[in-house]
């Protein structure tokens, strides 16, 4: 395992006093490694878990040729003639009931078939009910000319998934589609990585717990709530260590407990340059740690480190105190690092491109994450505007936003109408 110094030495032009966002991300990719422990979970407990091995199909899906429509199944070879085709209805095939004997269905005959029913061997085409002209006695149907091709409305065995094929890959995050897919293979459990344990606490003598009486000069702890929400959304097991006073003994006890119990520790506050507090001193005393000024806005000060105990090595993220900076640094750095630790190999969601509805000031040499609201203009094109005051303590700017406008490191000012990148907050699934 490389020391933090060794990781830093790999980064070209590494300057802890002005570290580009991309270098922070590169540093973290080196710092963290995936957990190894796996467990089997019930499919219904699998949402957001990370698959620990390739999932090989034990069966074909669908397991048999079947009808995609309610209608009449027949041998499509008879469609060669340009004339309407008249077929005698010889039997009925219901979904889930045993296959009809093939021998009974000859040329000039068809069977009435339900959606999902097994197609008897030799029959390969289905006339949908809505196109069928049934004779008055109900004993035969006419297939109109030129409405069907051989093979229409039949689902082939294995057309979704074939036995022996990898249906899902190790490292995939399980979303509803993946759970349904595993179920379609007849599986009721899946092998996943164990949940990542993440400890979280707030620091600062001015911070008080929500629910307590307000006092002069105090600020309510909001960071632990945004962070825990973000961690729960990722599917982590959260160890809530509450609010920790700026006191060496309490900080030591908190870091030591977190290092024993968690894979990662996230603290907020107390890492600013020149801050006269004990958080930084304790991180330094207990672990291998670096303190950075990141070339970004919001969220400049940040500490990253590692504490080792006999049982494990725990990654520390010391985030800034300002509430927007906490969320932004989490999304930009902590989230990808935690996903890597969780064993997730999914590509990050792509940034969205939207037209800026206004001019945006921006200096090259730092990355800015402005809170934005994306919607569509009168022509149906995506546009984005910032959500008012962009101060790093203005948490309401996050509430009013549905994404972050990412103004990249070397990017300059943006003129109204130019396209910008947006990291959207929510996907649908």
By CB under 6 A, which span of 89-97, 167-175, 266-274, 407-415 interacts with ligand AMP?
266-274
Q: Decide if residue 275 touches ligand AMP (CB under 6 A).
A: yes
Q: Which does 40 bind (CB under 5 to 8 A by kind): ligand AMP, Mg ion, none?
A: none
Number of H helices, E strands in the chain: 9, 26
Smallest gap from residue 416 Cβ to ligand AMP (A)? 32
Among 23, 153, 202, 386, binds ligand AMP (CB under 6 A): 202
Residue numbers 289-328 binding ligand AMP by CB under 6 A? 320-323
Among 20, 46, 71, 204, binds Mg ion (CB under 5 A): 204
Q: Decide if residue 153 touches ligand AMP (CB under 6 A).
A: no
Residue numbers 384-423 binding ligand AMP by CB under 6 A? 393
In 3D space, the residue among 165, 181, 190 whose CA is nearest the CA of residue 58 turns out to be: 165
Binding-residue pattern over the window 344 to 383 for ligand AMP, x denoting contact by CB under 6 A: ----------------------------------------
Rounded Cα distance, 110 and 100, in Å: 12
Q: Decide if residue 222 touches ligand AMP (CB under 6 A).
A: yes
Among 20, 270, 320, 372, binds Mg ion (CB under 5 A): 270
State which H helix or E strand residue 84 sits in: none
SS3 per residue for 358-421: CCECCCCCCEEEEEEEEEECCCCCEEEEECCCCCCCCCHHHHCCCEEEEECCCCCCECCCCEEE
By CB under 5 A, which span of 37-45, 63-71, 318-326, 339-347 interacts with Mg ion?
318-326
Rounded Cα distance, 196 and 236, in Å: 5
In 3D space, the residue among 229, 230, 329, 339 whose CA is nearest the CA of residue 271 turns out to be: 329
What is the total count of residues that contact ligand AMP (CB under 6 A)? 18
Residue 342, helix vs strand vs coil: helix
Instruction: Name which of 252 and 409 has its Cβ closer to Mg ion.
Output: 252
Instruction: Name which of 269 and 372 has its Cβ closer to ligand AMP.
Output: 269
Whether the CB-CB separation of 269 and 321 falls below 8 Å is answered with yes
In 3D space, the residue among 231, 206, 361 whose CA is nearest the CA of residue 297 turns out to be: 361
Rounded Cα distance, 353 and 370, in Å: 14
Among 46, 76, 235, 269, binds Mg ion (CB under 5 A): 269
Interface ranges with ligand AMP (CB under 6 A): 202, 204, 206-207, 219, 221-223, 268-270, 272, 275, 320-323, 393
């Amino acid at each position: 395992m490389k020391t933090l110094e060794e990781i830093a030495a790999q980064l070209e032009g590494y300057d802890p006093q002005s570290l580009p966002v991309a270098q922070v991300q590169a540093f973290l990719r080196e710092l963290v490694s995936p957990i190894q422990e796996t467990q089997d979970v019930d499919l219904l407990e699998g949402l957001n878990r990370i698959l620990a091995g390739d999932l090989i199909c034990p069966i074909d899906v669908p397991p048999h040729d079947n009808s995609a429509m309610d209608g009449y199944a027949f041998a499509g070879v008879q469609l060669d003639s340009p004339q309407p085709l008249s077929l005698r209805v010889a039997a009925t095939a219901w979904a889930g009931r045993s296959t009809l004997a093939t021998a009974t269905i000859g040329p000039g005959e068809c069977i009435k078939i339900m959606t999902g029913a097994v197609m008897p061997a030799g029959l390969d085409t289905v006339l949908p009910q809505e196109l069928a002209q049934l004779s008055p006695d109900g004993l035969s149907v006419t297939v109109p000319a030129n409405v069907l091709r051989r093979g229409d409305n039949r689902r082939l065995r294995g057309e979704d998934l074939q036995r022996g094929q990898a249906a899902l890959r190790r490292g995939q995050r399980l979303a509803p589609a993946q759970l349904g897919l595993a179920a379609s293979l007849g599986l009721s459990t899946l092998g996943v990585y164990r949940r990542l344990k993440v400890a979280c606490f707030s620091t600062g003598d001015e911070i008080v717990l929500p629910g307590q009486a307000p006092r002069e000069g105090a600020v309510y702890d909001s960071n632990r709530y945004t962070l825990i929400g973000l961690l729960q959304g990722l599917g982590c097991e959260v160890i809530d260590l509450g609010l920790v006073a700026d006191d060496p003994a309490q900080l030591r006890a908190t870091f030591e407990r977190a290092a024993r119990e968690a894979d990662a520790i996230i603290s907020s506050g107390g890492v600013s340059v020149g801050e006269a507090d004990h958080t930084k001193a304790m991180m330094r005393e207990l672990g291998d740690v670096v303190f950075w000024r990141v070339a970004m806005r919001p969220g400049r000060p940040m500490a990253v480190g590692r504490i080792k105990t006999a049982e494990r090595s725990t990654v520390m993220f010391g985030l800034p105190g300002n509430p927007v900076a906490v969320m932004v640094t989490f999304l930009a750095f902590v989230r990808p690092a935690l996903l890597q630790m969780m064993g997730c190999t999914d590509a990050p969601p792509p940034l969205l491109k939207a037209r800026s509805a206004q001019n945006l000031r921006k200096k090259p040499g730092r990355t800015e994450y402005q809170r934005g609201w994306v919607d569509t203009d009168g022509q149906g094109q995506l546009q984005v505007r910032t959500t008012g005051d962009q101060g790093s303590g203005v948490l309401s700017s996050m509430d009013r936003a549905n994404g972050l406008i990412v103004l990249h490191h070397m990017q300059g000012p943006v003129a109204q109408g130019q396209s910008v990148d947006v990291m959207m907050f929510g996907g649908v699934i």
